Structure 1
């Protein structure tokens, strides 16, 4: 039987220890992420993990980059640190790529697009932390690259619930189908 989801991939973005710890005091908020990953695996949908991390000495960080220049001053977020490893709640399985990005968008500074194109992926299902960071930036860039997009609204977190609401209810629907993890799973059967 041919898998009709073979051109789809689930991007699990910035679900790394240092970021998850800021948002997930309550472990229940991680359940939608876990459910999405498990459903993708059950339906043979590739799961691709994306994290942000830098080399020792931060040669990739410009002093003009407001988001990342503070990291180079304080330290942390290098590729080998615990903070940049994928959170145990959604650990990658063998064969699931881990892409390291160097900016906010999942596409910046890495081989994500090469991986997607080599697998002939044309549809991306997005989840991650934060809604106003990696999810927004990746959605915009992916739309410009002509990917079909879905955003799992309950598998996205943001420090500001109102920003999350505005993005998932008003901004994202212009470029993506926005649905809950359960609603997405219903489309897989």
Structure 2
């Protein structure tokens, strides 16, 4: 895309949603499968994705410090024939890695990034953490108005979750440094498009400040 075409594309887009007063940290698929040499979904070849777990760890620490709610989401399938993955499985056969009890260890939380006692865990079956789950109800019941989103992949589950967060009237803030994808180009392009249409892409420093501050 030329610079002029990019400017034309951005015209009328990329407004700011802005922060609310009651944020929660929403972690999307922070699983071993995305940062493991033995996994076909390993994203460490992309330097931005390889650095994402360290950024996510900073966000988790800040949220716990500020007593800001943390919600962990990850894909889980329980049917032996993967029928609970629906058409998503037809498109992405590698989803079998996330079958509960498959024994590969790749469906587990990334080492050092695990839910603490009392933190909410929401299993999901599709890209969006909102689709087919009670995530929106849980957030509404806690009076959350802003979701700070991190995890993988930028072009898939992060993007889908950011879109649905906006559609559910939560203010989605996507932390670019804390997201990952296999391709640097796809990661960068999707952050640009997410920021243009469905969420505010914010810096790690800004997100940490909001998480540490907690709720008024």
- Whether TM-score is above 0.5 comes out as yes
Tell which has more relative contact order, 1 or 2 (C-alpha 8 A, sep 6+).
2
Alignment match, 1:61: 85
CA distance in structure 2 between the partners assigned to 1:140 and 1:170 by the alignment: 11
1:132 aligns with 2:155: yes
* Secondary structure at 1:39 match in 2: helix
The 1:148/1:54 distance shift into structure 2, 3 A limit, reads same
Give CA-to-partner distance per residue, 1:10-58, whole Å, 9 cap, x none.
1111111123321247864421010011111111111111000100312
Distance 1:164 1:43, change over 3 A: same
Structure 2 partner of 1:18: 33
Structure 1 SS opposite 2:190: helix
Is the Cα–Cα contact under 8 Å of residues 55 and 79 in structure 1 kept in the other structure?
yes
What TM-score do you get using the length of structure 2 for normalisation? 0.75
CA distance in 2, matches of 1:105, 1:6: 24
Q: Say which SS state the counterpart of residue 124 (structure 1) adopts.
A: strand
In structure 1, the residue matched to 2:22 is: 7
The number of aligned residues is: 183
Corresponding residue number in structure 1 for 2:62: 39
CA distances 1:85-108 after superposition (whole Å, capped 9, x unpaired)? 211221110011111100111112
Normalised to the residue count of structure 1, the TM-score between the two structures is 0.85
Preserved CA contact (<8 Å) 1:30 1:89? no
Change (3 A) 1:172 1:17: same
Q: Which has the larger radius of gyration?
A: 2
- Aligned counterparts, 1:103-122, within 5 A: 103-122=126-145
Gaps of 5+ in 1: none
Q: What is the match of residue 76 of structure 1?
A: 97
